[in-house]
Structure 1
């Protein structure tokens, strides 16, 4: 039976949720709904933005794929069952979106062509009440549109766009311009609108239309008649538009919440700003035909306009900068530099295998014309090195010998298995991805050099879309729905990390909310809906798009929040969808720390080290790692890695490569960890898999750990070509979610069977590869990171004071806070000296002891709230030292508030002053800056001599943590131990058995995505650390204590796994209140000569605004949480 013919209609005015806090549907939802309604076209027209159009483009491509797959399945039905996708899937790493989660059934679409996507925008001008839908008709018009938007965004603060009628007149050629006059159209506004419309119509004859949008208030018929008269008077054709805000009317409540957030009101005070109904939804052609029954031509014009808009995002053609120099073509320059690299990388001559490999790579690079890309990265790396900035390429780029010879990567190719197709594949037709890590404190120099070299019109950072997640959704929606602040705080406080789900019934009960309350039910529903909505654009961590021509003729460029940064509107998944090349200029704290350590060693030990000349394969390094003595060491300092090191027992560099890769979701999900360790330790025999397979898996005991191995198995055992194997690798996660993994499994298993492998073994091989998903490490990436593991471990092993000093001067970075780094250094025999106004600089420094060892002096950077500029003045004016507080004030010229911070940090102790004495002296200085030394008012202010009570050790420790976040005096648990006699010290856990109780500060929390809801806590007491495993049911029972405690008491049982001891939690109690007992305020009386008596607080907090000890405890001892 023939499907009924649908009323043709193209929707030309659609606002997605990329008009932040206005549109109530994702671009993907809008495109999918347009297809369901059988619309001829849909234009995504967000306010002064095209940020959402690529998502719509990707959604349409996915619908096209699904339809083609369904047709192919139907045609092949007679040949037997075929596995096909039942789900629409998002191939990116984005927030999940309805219809694109991989768990939602594919939409049922009419037997009509899919809608055409029109990429456009809604221009809101600063000098006109008329808004304009701008729809480019061709590529040139698109380029003018993105230039126009860039102009408006670059002249405005982040998130804004300032455009005028003159701008539109200058850049509007080639665009369909649909005017949306103000509503209501008063006599005065109509007059102004007519003038604007007449001006634009004269500038762009044949391009301008008058849009008529229904308001669904019962007056639309009269409104359309009035607009038709205006259109006739101006000789502008009228066109129907839906002014769409949502894909379905069910989103109306969420649209009202967005309005409240935008307007700063609540749902109870929204008033007339609330949508009167849910009619601002996508409508079918038949519905629009009824609304415009008196003006059918307005409906027909939508189709004419859609046909005129020939531009598609697929028309964009990316051209990479031509990196030729002095007339030398890019490919020739690349080949010259690469062959030059053979000589400096291999002074004794390169192995024949490397020469052959280079020629193969250069040939492929020539064929796919990627030479300019390699040269760009080479030039960036060369600039960094010329400035002494440490850097290293990583990721799949380490599979390239050319990258190694160009100095981009540092891992010798002969030390790992190289598969160039993992990096570049001609058949894949996608650009390579080179990631380069730079010192995190100096990366900005590299970024600014890129802007300077290419110009901001040719280079821009990619965007990152900041979405609503659970905590923000609860806060924002809760406020709009009138929930009290304490209820909102209780609800949001129970959220772990970056959760993306609405609070469940148990969380609502814990927050004291009634599940029967209709408002609570609605708030919960709206929280769930807004999660995943875009909130605003931010900047990517370092992904640069660089073009040969103008980048702003491809995508709008706008100002970032950070000074001197500009970004494009599209994120990394958008540019992947469009095939744009990206160079990742990433920041890595460990590179900063290593470079600072090298500088310290050169200054104090006259050792000149680089990443390349660290002595290799030092047995002492591996001995240290086997003891899990790795706090501060790159990549292996997490609790999971520290637990694994004694089992792994690394003895050579390749063991570190495996160590980095194996504690990852891929190998864990693939069930590879236990077989690997058992075979390595000789507890399980390594199965002989035949020569071909053992060449691939021999180094990893027959267990595939790396993505390259998965590809090699597919090639040598299942008959895949290298490019097909790379397609398998890339498709594992995607096809698994889509339900089509079976097609690859069948091909893989049958290929192995045909080569003589058994069915069980073939199935087991595929199951292990399948476990990788998208989580497995490339061996090349693991090797790049393993180099930094070795270098940082070498520094820790041989120069602990230098290493700790460098780590402290590179914060924030790493897994542990400064308190744990300092404690570890002291445990290794390093003398750590306190901050002193007469000895410290901004950075931590090293001081030579009489025995020739180096002591670590803490720097002013550890003092909370102290400015680096003030630290510089203090050091510069110090001379032979400050005798007292006032002399520092006069000579350094710092504000009394700075003196107070120094006093609170006990930085005057070397002058013989206690905290209280120093603070008393600092508070005596009344003027904000020192006056002339001998002037009549030059005295800082005379305070009476007063004997201040001595602070207890507990009070000193509290003040240390308040100011420095660490203490050299004592651990809080050492002071609380008498009150916790039942708690076992952590250093006695290796000998403990059965059920025990431990108490400690929570220093880290981890909730890996592969751990099925399990939480891993690291507790610290005065004797050491303890590993606590909290299973999901225990976590749910004691959630608040697990998530929010500073000091926690755990009842549990001992579990040992070889040399590693864990405590399996059975009960978790928050005893953070005990921290408040460490310091208590003391009130003293003093006669200050200006009043009979003054009462001053000098006790538990020496700060001028004394806080209650419980309030202090809430801010102390914060953990580092990873999720």
Structure 2
């Protein structure tokens, strides 16, 4: 069978599956048009290659989804490569493939991040390393690497260079490197110091070395070495092409991006848990659409842990934009990007959306381009269409504009189109004011904006993850924990959020925990009055506990049992041995029985004791730890207690009293990074109240413009490139999280503390805009001594 005939058969068979009630005429017309163009440009083998990768992934039960401009293609939709229907979304196929621009298509496919390696290995097994290879990427100097290499070249002390590289931000202000170098003992006025600062500042952005691309793959009929230069990959049996994606594009060499996405792993795990405990197995296509309760949750910015809309910026936008349908989510995903923000599109769109009135359009052609986004070009495709209908660009020129927008790391490229765009709009009778505004908006896309098809693909995962969070909160939290590392928030915040949604969380316990976190019927959870208690009213005052039993096929709700994998540094092989021994031999009777059957060493028993996982066997933590430390570690194939001659009934010294609650919490944080018992701030709450510190619950009703003091553990520090030097920080106390805005002058004034302290006491002013509350920081005090000894780690983003 000829490749094009095979592609046609697969496509029409897929169309029948996608449209079980009959393929709409519009979809039939689109399919005929696309297949004709694919055949004319001879891309059928490329589509079949990508289909084969997706087919393999599905045969191995690996969740995957195409994204980017490929989502404009109804052929990709019918082949199962993408999940968004272009027929419903009115997406433009020519954004993906165009005869006029003579450019190879580029299909990006996301796979579960914990299983993408299986797909890559399939490619090498099928094609061999001589016909398949990963593309390269040019790694450029960033701030820290520039400092380290410049310092090493000039012979500056490694201690000083290390101290400086830990201190600097990736986005430095002018003169900041000079000041920080002086703080680290590098004299900026000396000859070496001046040369060092000059070299480090000028190296930033300069190519450093070739690296392996995260997912770009090239597969060929002939040998790769006859086509392009190669080198061995770090993994045995694999090849890296010494050209990057731009080189391949220029030469017309087709590639497939096999990318990894953590949320796909989490969604798949949640589908599995849902099928096991709640009812029929869900898929991306079968999750019920347009659930009003889900959109109500999104509008409240109750989105911790979900895909894309969990960041500070997105959470601030949600109450303003108030998404009520799928296309609103598409806009939400796209609008909180550097392009729309820099192009001054956000506030005009929100004003138009609130008023519900379309602006006056200069002509009908421009109305057709902008009507669905209230007169504001939010997507790259709209900018391209505007250039054609408003400024007389040819389709080829519009594609050059698209390329300039796509080169967001080099935003100056769009400036070369300024005169042509403005002159073209003026020639069409448009006002200079309108022309300047449109160019400002288009120029914003040079700072990174989304094509509509890409935003639609991501919006589907946004909705699915929100649906799972709302209806399966315990399963969703377990899936996120089992898919780490991923997302904005650490396990501590994900667990606290689940408890705030009424999920009963049970601690790590060797007699009940699996390696991964899992669900147990609440009636079967061995309840420890400290560890497993339901959230306090202060934690769930916004959200009813009925969530934990919604959608269950029985009346029994499920709780979350934490897994052994959450103990920091605990060996996975040992965890599996514990579970296997318990499965075959029943619950462990005591510590000796555990160590004998699971063949544990002194070190692993101590880890379990430190984490509080032995309480059902050995009483309190100190007693368990005493039993572990009192054994002589001996290299043997037998259990620890069996060889040491310890008797099961050996008395425990009376002075080993149980830990205080504060000590228990400290031990929890040191071993797992979280505690189910109490929040660290609760132990200093009385002192904070004497200082009139406002907690997170009180902050929700604070008056706009009022002065407050707030305190908490630092969860996230984030400084987006579009924020003009402003740093956004999230603090957490026992009542919830608080959002801070730290302006550049305040950040610089408290630089070392702001960068390194894990707990802050902040003085600032409340900003309450449309029920979105921030504290604009005026002063930061260090609170880390009050929580000294805790293993607290923030997640910092640039």
Whole-angstrom CA distance in 2 between matches of 1:914 and 1:607: 42
Q: 2:679 maps to which residue? A: 971
Question: Is residue 2:561 matched to residue 1:849?
Answer: no
Question: TM-score when scaled to structure 2?
Answer: 0.90
Whole-angstrom CA distance in 1 between matches of 2:356 and 2:37: 45
Q: 1:996 maps to which residue? A: 708
Whole-angstrom CA distance in 2 between matches of 1:758 and 1:736: 31
Render the CA deviation track for 1:370-429: whole Å, top value 9, x for unaligned.
111111111100111111111000001111111111111110112323222211222322
Question: Is residue 2:794 matched to residue 1:1119?
Answer: yes
Whole-angstrom CA distance in 2 between matches of 1:412 and 1:549: 35
Question: Is residue 2:312 matched to residue 1:608?
Answer: no
Question: Is residue 2:365 matched to residue 1:672?
Answer: no
Q: 2:694 maps to which residue? A: 984
Instruction: Say whether the 8 Å CA contact 1:890–1:930 is kept in structure 2.
Output: no
Whole-angstrom CA distance in 1 between matches of 2:157 and 2:568: 32
Whole-angstrom CA distance in 2 between matches of 1:462 and 1:355: 36
- CA apart distance, 1:436: 0.3
Render the CA deviation track for 1:42-86: whole Å, top value 9, x for unaligned.
xxxxxxxxxxxxxxxxxxxxxxxxxxxxxxxxxxxxxxxxxxxxx
Structural RMSD (CA): 2.6
Written as runs of structure 1 = structure 2, the 5 A alignment for 1:726-745 is: 726-732=399-405, 744-745=417-418
2:121 to 448, 460, 469: 448
Question: Is residue 2:591 matched to residue 1:885?
Answer: yes
Q: 2:742 maps to which residue? A: 1030
Whole-angstrom CA distance in 2 between matches of 1:973 and 1:758: 58
Question: Is residue 2:653 matched to residue 1:949?
Answer: no
- Change in Cα spacing, 1:774 to 1:497, as seen in structure 2 (3 Å) is closer
Whole-angstrom CA distance in 1 between matches of 2:627 and 2:408: 70
Render the CA deviation track for 1:13-60: whole Å, top value 9, x for unaligned.
xxxxxxxxxxxxxxxxxxxxxxxxxxxxxxxxxxxxxxxxxxxxxxxx
Secondary structure of the structure 2 residue equivalent to 1:568: strand
Instruction: Say whether the 8 Å CA contact 1:735–1:741 is kept in structure 2.
Output: no
Moved more, 629-638 or 570-579: 570-579
- Change in Cα spacing, 1:714 to 1:485, as seen in structure 2 (3 Å) is closer
Whole-angstrom CA distance in 2 between matches of 1:744 and 1:995: 48
Instruction: Say whether the 8 Å CA contact 1:990–1:1061 is kept in structure 2.
Output: yes
Render the CA deviation track for 1:925-961: whole Å, top value 9, x for unaligned.
3244566689995625897731213322222111111
Written as runs of structure 1 = structure 2, the 5 A alignment for 1:819-968 is: 819-850=492-523, 852-878=556-582, 879-928=585-634, 939-940=645-646, 945-947=652-654, 948-968=656-676
Whole-angstrom CA distance in 2 between matches of 1:566 and 1:422: 32
Render the CA deviation track for 1:74-112: whole Å, top value 9, x for unaligned.
xxxxxxxxxxxxxxxxxxxxxxxxxxxxxxxxxxxxxxx
1:1050 to 759, 762, 772: 762
Question: Is residue 2:482 matched to residue 1:809?
Answer: yes
- Change in Cα spacing, 1:907 to 1:707, as seen in structure 2 (3 Å) is same
Instruction: Say whether the 8 Å CA contact 2:715–2:731 is kept in structure 1.
Output: yes
Q: 2:471 maps to which residue? A: 798
Instruction: Say whether the 8 Å CA contact 1:866–1:898 is kept in structure 2.
Output: yes
Whole-angstrom CA distance in 2 between matches of 1:935 and 1:345: 61
Question: TM-score when scaled to structure 1?
Answer: 0.65
- Change in Cα spacing, 1:916 to 1:484, as seen in structure 2 (3 Å) is farther
Instruction: Say whether the 8 Å CA contact 1:1002–1:1019 is kept in structure 2.
Output: yes
Secondary structure of the structure 1 residue equivalent to 2:355: coil
Determine which structure has more spread, i.e. the larger CA radius of gyration.
Answer: 1
Which segments of 5 or more consecutive residues in structure 2 lack a partner in the other structure? 524-554
Whole-angstrom CA distance in 2 between matches of 1:664 and 1:1019: 24
Instruction: Say whether the 8 Å CA contact 2:631–2:641 is kept in structure 1.
Output: no
Q: 2:102 maps to which residue? A: 429
- Change in Cα spacing, 1:703 to 1:528, as seen in structure 2 (3 Å) is closer
Whole-angstrom CA distance in 2 between matches of 1:743 and 1:465: 25
Whole-angstrom CA distance in 2 between matches of 1:934 and 1:823: 36
Secondary structure of the structure 2 residue equivalent to 1:838: coil
Whole-angstrom CA distance in 1 between matches of 2:150 and 2:417: 44
Whole-angstrom CA distance in 1 between matches of 2:149 and 2:83: 47
Which segments of 5 or more consecutive residues in structure 1 lack a partner in the other structure? 1-327, 1077-1108
Whole-angstrom CA distance in 1 between matches of 2:683 and 2:279: 43
Whole-angstrom CA distance in 2 between matches of 1:935 and 1:1047: 42
Question: Is residue 2:297 matched to residue 1:624?
Answer: yes
Whole-angstrom CA distance in 1 between matches of 2:782 and 2:250: 48
- Change in Cα spacing, 1:931 to 1:843, as seen in structure 2 (3 Å) is closer
Whole-angstrom CA distance in 2 between matches of 1:448 and 1:735: 32
- CA apart distance, 1:685: 5.8
Instruction: Say whether the 8 Å CA contact 1:679–1:701 is kept in structure 2.
Output: yes
- CA apart distance, 1:647: 0.5
Q: 1:247 maps to which residue? A: none
- Change in Cα spacing, 1:521 to 1:934, as seen in structure 2 (3 Å) is closer
Secondary structure of the structure 2 residue equivalent to 1:1050: strand
Q: 1:550 maps to which residue? A: 223
- CA apart distance, 1:690: 3.8
Secondary structure of the structure 2 residue equivalent to 1:877: helix
- CA apart distance, 1:1032: 1.6
Moved more, 665-674 or 892-901: 892-901
Written as runs of structure 1 = structure 2, the 5 A alignment for 1:764-803 is: 764-773=437-446, 775-803=448-476
Whole-angstrom CA distance in 2 between matches of 1:711 and 1:816: 36
- Change in Cα spacing, 1:933 to 1:334, as seen in structure 2 (3 Å) is closer
Moved more, 849-858 or 567-576: 567-576
Render the CA deviation track for 1:828-864: whole Å, top value 9, x for unaligned.
0100000000000101010012361101000011011
Moved more, 1018-1027 or 722-731: 722-731
Whole-angstrom CA distance in 1 between matches of 2:214 and 2:158: 34
Whole-angstrom CA distance in 2 between matches of 1:783 and 1:935: 58
Number of equivalences: 759
- Change in Cα spacing, 1:1052 to 1:590, as seen in structure 2 (3 Å) is same
Instruction: Say whether the 8 Å CA contact 2:71–2:77 is kept in structure 1.
Output: yes
1:1065 to 769, 772, 777: 777
Instruction: Say whether the 8 Å CA contact 1:896–1:929 is kept in structure 2.
Output: no
Whole-angstrom CA distance in 2 between matches of 1:481 and 1:754: 58
